């Protein structure tokens, strides 16, 4: 028959670990997390770890703000180090996006998010080397910044273990076990089984493959994201994260003074249809990234390329997550976070607990908007004030 649990969580990234901890904290019974490789081994370990609340969809902005509060207070409240550095978050837009940008900032401020508009020349106090002439408007979140995704997953893991959560590593789930239209457990690659009344799939890009045999379409694709590390030649260790909505590039300073650079241009995505996410970075990516960087920081003539890596976003058609029940009783999903997941992870665990308490209903509008059925209903989550180039990603 197999081993017994009350709840099985498939996937031990930061999302699965957050969900497991939240359920154990609320005494949902025996929670077991099954993971094919290791803790935070896939997308979590490759995340840039940026914390910001600049979203055009109010519920996402609100959740990001709640997540930010957790990161800020994790050490004091839980006694865990998640690597939070409140270095701030600076974002700038060009003339074509100024009206939408101002509307988004007003919406965020109405949600009590600490963000303030800035004129481009004022931002030079935060980034003295930055060329700002093509920005029309900017904003600064003083409490934004970065945290460490692996440390965060480890914190949820350790706190969950203390509350009785069990983890099984090294075996992938090969199928979801059903009885009629109800899911009753999972089968592992070695033929062993875990039986439970509730299964939550938080398996990132592997999620659709588990739902396909049940006839449930989960529209998640793997999109490659490349990042590079540079030595700018000047110490930028305490400079805020910057998001350049003109050139669609972002950067986060490291403690050692180097800079991690990522791409915000998703107009021509590189889809990964089979196999693991590609490693390393391409010459084309590095060339484009350096050109954009040198436009933004023209005085960095001595900057050095130090290397790079790739990860894969788990992307839905509207670049927003799927959270909640599936058509099969007892089966839930928390996947498709499209690059937003890390900063939202402290909020997703409690949200999933509320959903489980409500059965197959959604307890609030905030969770309802992330339902799987929205894609069939053509009711995609969209920003009221989208940006021309960055579109719905922001």
pLDDT tens digits for range 14-56: 999 999 999 999 999 999 999 999 999 999 999 999 999 999 9
Q: What is the residue range of 35's domain?
A: 3-45+150-219+318-374
Q: Is 51 inside any structural domain?
A: no
Total Cβ atoms within 10 A of residue 55? 25
Residues 279 and 295 in one domain: yes
Residues 131 and 155 in one domain: no
The answer to whether residues 264 and 244 touch, using CB atoms and an 8 Å cutoff, is yes
Please give the share of the chain, as a percent, with pLDDT higher than 70. 99
Give the residue from 268, 291, 315 where a domain finishes: 315
pLDDT of residue 392: 56
pLDDT tens-place string over residues 43-53: 999 999 999 99
Residues 228 and 310 in one domain: yes
**Residue 109 neighbours by CB under 8 Å, 6+ apart:** 115
Report the largest interatomic distance among the alpha carbons of the chain, rounded to a whole angstrom. Answer: 67
Residue 67 CB-half CA count within 13 A? 33
Q: What is the CATH number of the domain that holds 334?
A: 3.50.50.60
**Residue 114 neighbours by CB under 8 Å, 6+ apart:** 141, 142, 143
Residues 127 and 230 in one domain: yes
pLDDT of residue 359: 79
pLDDT tens-place string over residues 249-302: 999 999 999 999 999 998 899 999 888 899 999 999 999 999 999 999 999 999
Residue 1 has pLDDT above 80, yes or no: no
Q: Is 34 inside any structural domain?
A: yes
pLDDT of residue 394: 55
Q: Is 279 inside any structural domain?
A: yes
pLDDT tens-place string over residues 194-207: 999 999 999 999 99
Q: Is 248 inside any structural domain?
A: yes
pLDDT of residue 207: 98
Q: Is 72 inside any structural domain?
A: no
pLDDT of residue 326: 96
pLDDT tens-place string over residues 107-144: 999 999 999 999 999 999 999 999 999 999 999 999 99
Q: Report the number of distinct structural domains present in the chain.
A: 2
Strand ranges for 11-136 from DSSP E: 31-35, 50-51, 89-93, 116-118
pLDDT tens-place string over residues 144-158: 999 999 999 999 999
How far the first Cα of the chain sits from its last, in Å, is 47
Residues 137 and 227 in one domain: yes
Residues 228 and 294 in one domain: yes
Residue 389 has pLDDT above 80, yes or no: no
pLDDT tens-place string over residues 100-110: 999 999 999 99
Q: What is the average pLDDT across 299-314?
A: 95
Residue 75 exposed, middle or buried by CB count within 10 Å (0-12, 13-18, 19+): middle
Q: Is 23 inside any structural domain?
A: yes
pTM above 0.85, yes or no: yes
Q: What is the CATH number of the domain that holds 257?
A: 3.30.9.10
The answer to whether residues 313 and 348 touch, using CB atoms and an 8 Å cutoff, is no
Instruction: Identify the band that residue 393 occupies on the pLDDT scale cut at 50, 70 and 90.
Output: low
- Three-state DSSP at 365 gives helix
Q: What is the average pLDDT across 75-88?
A: 96
Residues 369 and 237 in one domain: no
Q: What is the average pLDDT across 222-235?
A: 95
Q: Is 69 inside any structural domain?
A: no
Residues 244 and 127 in one domain: yes
pLDDT of residue 362: 84
pLDDT tens-place string over residues 324-340: 999 999 999 999 999 99
Residues 132 and 242 in one domain: yes
pLDDT of residue 77: 94
Residues 165 and 189 in one domain: yes
Residues 126 and 172 in one domain: no
């Amino acid at each position: 028959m197999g081993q017994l649990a009350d709840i099985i969580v498939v996937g031990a990234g930061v999302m699965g670990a957050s969900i497991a901890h939240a359920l154990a904290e609320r005494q949902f019974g025996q929670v077991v997390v099954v993971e094919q490789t290791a803790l935070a081994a896939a997308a979590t370990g490759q995340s840039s770890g940026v914390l910001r609340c600049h979203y055009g969809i109010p519920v996402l902005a609100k959740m990001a703000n709640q997540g930010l509060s957790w990161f800020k207070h994790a050490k004091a409240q839980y006694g865990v180090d998640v690597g939070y550095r409140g270095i701030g978050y600076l974002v700038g837009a060009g003339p074509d996006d100024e009206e939408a940008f101002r509307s988004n900032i007003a919406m965020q401020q109405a949600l009590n998010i600490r963000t303030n508009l800035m004129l481009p020349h004022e931002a030079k106090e935060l980034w003295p080397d930055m060329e700002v002439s093509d920005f029309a408007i900017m904003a600064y979140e003083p409490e934004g910044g970065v945290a460490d995704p692996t440390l965060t997953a480890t914190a949820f893991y350790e706190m969950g273990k203390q509350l009785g959560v069990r983890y099984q590593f090294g075996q992938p789930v090969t199928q979801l076990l059903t009885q009629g239209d109800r899911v009753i457990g999972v089968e592992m690659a070695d033929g062993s089984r875990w039986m439970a009344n509730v299964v939550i799939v938080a398996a990132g890009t592997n999620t659709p493959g588990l739902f396909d045999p049940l006839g449930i379409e989960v529209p998640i694709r793997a999109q490659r994201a490349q990042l590079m590390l540079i030595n700018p030649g000047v110490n930028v260790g305490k400079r805020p994260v910057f998001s350049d909505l003109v050139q669609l590039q972002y950067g986060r300073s490291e403690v050692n003074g180097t800079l991690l650079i990522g791409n915000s241009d998703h107009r021509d995505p590189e889809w990964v249809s089979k196999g693991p996410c590609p490693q390393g970075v391409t010459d084309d990516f590095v060339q484009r990234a350096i050109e954009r960087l040198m436009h933004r920081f023209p005085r960095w003539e001595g900057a050095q390329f130090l290397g790079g890596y790739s990860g894969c976003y788990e992307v839905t058609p509207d670049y927003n997550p799927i959270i909640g029940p599936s058509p099969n009783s007892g089966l839930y999903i928390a996947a498709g976070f499209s690059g937003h997941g890390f900063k939202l992870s402290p909020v997703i665990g409690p949200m999933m607990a509320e959903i489980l308490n409500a059965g197959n209903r959604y307890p609030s509008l905030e969770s309802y908007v992330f339902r799987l059925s929205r894609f069939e209903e053509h009711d995609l989550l969209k920003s009221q004030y989208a940006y021309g180039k960055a579109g719905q990603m922001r």
